[in-house]
Structure 1
Amino acid sequence: MTSPAYETPETLRIVTLNCWGLKYIAKYRNERLTEIGNQLARSDPAPDIVGLQECWTQQDYLVIRERTRHILPYGKFYYSGIFGGGLAILSRWPIEESSMYRYPLNGRPSAFFRGDWFVGKGVASARIRYGSGRKDVAEVFCTHLHAPYEREPHDSYLCHRTAQAWEMAKLLRHASERGHLVISLGDFNMVPLSLAHRIIETHSPVRDVWRLLQPDSSLGAASHPAERRRGKKVPTAEENLEVNGATCDSCLNTWRWDKALRKRLNKGEDIVVGLDTEDPKAKRLDYIFVSCGERMAEWTVESANVGMTGRHSTLKCSLSDHFSVETTLRRRHHHLLSAATTTPAASPPSLTATHTPRLPVSVYDEILLLIAAYNVREVRQRKLRLGHFIAQVTLAIGCLVGIWWVPRNYGAFLLALWSTLGLSAGVIDGLMGGLFVGSELRALWEFEWEVRAAREAAVGLEAEAVVVGKFEE
């Protein structure tokens, strides 16, 4: 089917937001997500492309769609995993194609209380034609990487998040090679210039729009080691919004307040936090990346801001436990584009800067050590789980034999119950050890091979640079 022709827009307004729409868990979920839809509908300038995360139920998605239909008539709710990935993309223009790519390394089923594996985290992608030109196409990738449950480098899921960033970078690189505008957005659960952040910006031709405009912005919360090394003072709430782009753990977000303040808020007290309040915990976890290169010479980043910082009009709570990230891209006209190719533009920042094709060899060594450590952990887990299965089978047989010699019925009942419950737990553990861990190890080996190949290429580049340097001397 042929898509209708559209006049190529002068600007593209892009928004990403983690909605915190956990069913049965997130408080005031229906009211908050309805208000999110209302605020998107009233936005000025109106968004052209919106990526949502943690929009877990189709009901909430449809509510937002209904509120925004007049400005975002097209949308896609993405299905993944057992409970759904919580991802959605809304658009001013038709979505020609879409897909849902699940990450090969994606949490563990044994951590059922965390849920990352059960929701099937991955990348929701949409191909959107925004103009009449043959290549007036945006490929949008919306994601929510695995959550960190401990501080790096002691986070046991760091390997998962690193592998997910690697997979995302491949998708972005392939889309860019098709000559399309590439937009990646979502809750990446990483801080700027972390390992995952560097992988995305190096192994794909995209740039973090916030750091293009604010290159001196923070590298994490004030207590983060990388931020402490910079020797900066603790930022205020206003500085975190305007300069650092903090979207999470802000003192302005009511869901991050302590219990005492939350109780006062629940009683109807309208508590105001000043913008000059010190904000030591706020950090940036949400991002918009946009492609650079020859195709992106047509676009520049005009602005970027943190949005959705207001509260619900009646409940007085924040709309989500995250704030949104919003950016505007402006199209260059042909006479300006010709000048830009010969004279670097001073303002606004262009997305045409040459990017480093490889990370330093030491970084690949760091990733390989991470993979090796996680591989050891998984091999040990596999042995323990399969050992537990064998032990439970043996115990179950023993209990069944013991029933013959128990003189009273209640004793036989207890042995039968013990046998059944123990065997059930052993079978589940055996399935996880034999099937899930085996699948995860194979995904880990694939990841390792790709990293080693990238490392070899980086070694070749470094050797070539040394030869060129000696020749120039």
Structure 2
Amino acid sequence: MMAAEANRPPSHLRILSLNCWGLKFISKLRNERLTEIGVQIAAANPQPDIVGLQECWTQQDYNAIRDKTRHILPYGKFYHSGIFGGGLVILSRWPIEESNMVRYPLNGRPAAFYRGDWFVGKGVACARIRMGPSQRDIAEVFCTHLHAPYESEPHDSYLCHRTAQAWEITKLMRAASERGHLVIGLGDFNMVPLSLAHRIIETHSPVRDVWRILHPESSIGAAKDKVEQLRGVPMPTAQFNMTTNGATCDSEFNSWRWNEAHKKRLAKGENVQIDPAVADPNAKRLDYIFFSSGRFHHAQTGEETAEWELKEANVGMAMRHPTLHCSLSDHFSVEATLTRTSTLPSAIQLSPWALPERYLPIEIYDEILANTSKYQARERVQRKLRIGHFFFQFSVWTGCLIGVWWSPHNYVSFILMLLSSLGLSVGVVDGLMGLLFIGSEIRALKEFEWEVRTTRERALASGEKASAKADSMPYESER
């Protein structure tokens, strides 16, 4: 049965992406919630064909979800990365022919251990999925979780990292599109629509944000944010945010974002219900599905045809746990249905097609380069301070060793050695960060800076060509 199904190309494709909030020892009710997530994915109608999960950190949670979904999604991959794992999972109805985990060169700082982004080894989980026997039946899936924002843009100290990460996944999706395959990018991108990272993805690759295809006037931030207030739209309700704005995070419907009064009622076992008409100032969209259809051309006419089209998109997984009455995650899922073109030409062949070059405004590249330069200057100062701290602690430790000889009491000697040894340990860690990590980070930033600068030069050249062509048109019309 599986072989027969694998040889039958699909006419439609259902995609689901969800941040599971599965942080070990930190996320509350983790085992119960993630098991129920598996139950609800299996019970979904329509059934998903490809699922991307984020923050599924442990093999135990992955296995719990796999046990519940194996009958509809028999193929799956848990991606290993970093010290604590990447938290990324791809499940599929069809075989995963190839997979790899592409680590982001820039991903936080080890000194920010309380945030953990560097330690989890964030990157892109890549899977090549075979949906049928021909070359037309290949989907390339890219599941990711970008660096979290800890301040609002443009004051976010990790904006440079998230921008570089968006640039990296964009290159992967663009390359897949040039191979003529269906491209699906999904995950928690930790960005709002039309932010810098969002514009990079949609400009430098042919993928489109499925939600903005259907809802081009949807929100570009939380209602409380200045960017939304400038648009002059009325305060959205929780229902409107879910159905029209596509908000997947910080919704009034989500129990993990409730006020203390609601949380106390929930803790007592009460199944608290939220009025759909309640004002929802904090909800925003951080979870996305991007897609780009494979392209084919008629062997005789040369006409190009898109293989897949978007049918619908929605926010899902908003149900509660049946006994705990809490939301299944601190995010809701984003889901989409693609349909296959039913009237493809009779004579078609796979077309590795050249993508038209598209560029952001020149001032955006200047902004990226300015942010990168500013961040590099900050890191160079940090490098000097950390290396200086090591030599300072080494000097203190050496001084204490000498001072022990003149110490009048043994307990004084012990205190001197203990404190100086602890200080030296901290200094050694700081020195290693300065010498090894920050050096590596600066080199990765230089690579990113070179790519942006080169793209800026191509954008300038393209603009000059367009301007020269426009100037020549009156002359041509006179002739």
C-alpha separation in 2, matches of 1:451 and 1:401: 53
> Is residue 178 of structure 1 aligned with residue 187 of structure 2?
no
Shift of 1:355: 7.0
SS of 1:71's equivalent in the other structure is: coil
3-state secondary structure, aligned to 2:282: coil
Q: Is the 8 A contact 2:287 2:334 kept in 1?
A: yes
2:316–2:334 Cα contact (<8 Å) kept: yes
Report the alpha carbon displacement of residue 472 of structure 1 after superposing the two structures with TM. Answer: 2.7
Distance 1:292 1:400 in 2: 69
Measured in 2, the distance between the counterparts of 1:282 and 1:51 equals 22
Query: Aligned partners of 2:142 and 2:310: how far apart in 1?
Result: 18
CA deviations on 1:400-447 (whole Å, 9 max, x unpaired) are 000000010000000000111010000000000000000000000000
Question: Any idea what SS the aligned residue of 1:135 has?
Answer: helix
After TM superposition, give the deviation of residue 469 of structure 1 in Å.
Answer: 2.0
Superposition deviation, residue 4 in structure 1: 8.8
Q: Which amino acid aligns with 1:454?
A: T
Residue of structure 2 equivalent to 1:393: 394
Conserved? CA contact 2:42–2:72, under 8 Å = yes
Corresponding residue of 1:131: 132
Which residue does 1:317 correspond to in 2? 326
Contact kept, 8 Å, 1:235 with 1:278, in 2: the verdict is yes
Which residue identity does 2:35 align to in structure 1?
A: T
Q: Does 1:300 align with 2:309?
A: yes
1:165 aligned partner: 166
Partner of 1:379: 380
Provide the C-alpha distance between the structure 1 equivalents of 2:245 and 2:346, rounded to a whole number of angstroms.
30
Q: Which amino acid aligns with 1:438?
A: G
**Structure 2 counterpart SS, 1:302:** strand
3 and 70 in structure 1: CA distance in 2 versus 1, 3 angstrom threshold: closer
- Structure 2 CA distance for aligned equivalents of residues 116 and 239 of structure 1: 32
Q: Which residue of 1 aligns with 2:302?
A: none
Residue 10 to residue 470, structure 1, CA distance change in 2 (3 Å): same
Q: What amino acid maps onto 1:315 in structure 2?
A: L
Separation in 2 of the partners of 1:98 and 1:294? 23
- After superposition, what is the alpha-carbon deviation per residue over 1:165-212, rounded to whole angstroms, capped at 9, x for unaligned? 000101111111111111000000000000000001111110000001
TM-score, normalization by structure 1:
0.94
Contact 2:109 2:117 in 1 (8 A): yes
Residue-pair matches, total: 458
C-alpha distance in 1 between matches for 2:136 and 2:98: 15
State how far apart, in whole Å, the 1-side matches of 2:151 and 2:129 are: 37
Amino acid aligned to 2:143 = C
SS in 1 for 2:129: strand
- Is 1:45 matched up with 2:46? yes
Contact 2:181 2:293 in 1 (8 A): no
Q: C-alpha displacement at 1:131, in angstroms?
A: 1.4
Counterpart in 1 of 2:206?
205
Q: Which segment is superposed worse, 35-44 or 2-11?
A: 2-11
Contact 1:297 1:337 in 2 (8 A): no
Q: Could you tell me which residue of structure 1 aligns to residue 300 of structure 2? A: none
2:301 corresponds to which residue? Answer: none
Q: Which amino acid aligns with 2:320?
A: R
2:77 — aligned with what? 76
Tell me, in whole angstroms, the C-alpha distance in 1 between the residues paired with 2:167 and 2:291: 16
User: Which sits farther off after the overlay, 142-151 or 267-276?
Assistant: 267-276
What is the letter of the counterpart of residue 125 of structure 1? C
Q: How far 1:5 moved relative to its partner?
A: 4.8
**TM-fit CA distance, 1:292:** 4.3
Report the secondary structure of 1:334's partner residue: coil
SS at match of 2:222: coil
Distance (whole Å) between structure 1 residues aligned to residue 219 and residue 293 of structure 2: 23
In 1, distance between residues paired with 2:389 and 2:346? 66
Check the 8 A contact 1:183/1:291 in 2, yes or no.
yes
Deviation at 1:315, TM superposition (A): 0.4
1:1-400 equivalences under 5 Å are 5-292=6-293, 294-295=295-296, 297-334=306-343, 357-400=358-401
Amino acid at match of 2:338: L
Number of the residue aligned with 1:446: 447
- CA positional deviation for 1:261: 1.5
CA–CA distance in 2 between the matches of 1:403 and 1:265?
60
> Would the aligned equivalents of 2:243 and 2:314 in 1 still touch at CA under 8 Å?
yes
Deviation at 1:259, TM superposition (A): 2.0
| Coordinate RMSD, CA, aligned | 1.7
Task: Note the C-alpha offset of 1:294.
Answer: 2.6
Unaligned runs of 5+ in 2: 297-304, 348-352, 475-479
TM-score by length of 2: 0.93
Q: Match of 2:253, SS?
A: coil
Which amino acid counterpart does residue 309 of structure 1 have in structure 2?
A
Q: Report the CA distance between 1:274 and its aligned residue.
A: 1.1
Aligned CA distance change for structure 1 residues 410 and 74 (closer, same or farther; 3 Å): same
User: How much has 1:373 moved relative to structure 2?
Assistant: 0.6
Q: Could you list the per-position Cα deviations for residues 335-361 of structure 1 after superposition, in whole angstroms to 9, with x for gaps in the alignment?
A: 5899xxxxxxxxxxxxx9x97611111
Task: Map Cα deviations across residues 23-67 of structure 1 (whole Å, 9 max, x no partner).
Answer: 111111000001100000001110000000000100000010010
Q: SS where residue 452 of structure 1 aligns? A: helix
Identity of aligned residues (%): 65
Where 2:112 maps in the other structure, the secondary structure is coil
SS at match of 2:200: helix
Unpaired stretches in structure 1, ≥5 consecutive residues: 339-351
Q: Secondary structure at the match of 1:140?
A: strand
Cα distance change on mapping 1:335 and 1:100 into 2, 3 Å: closer
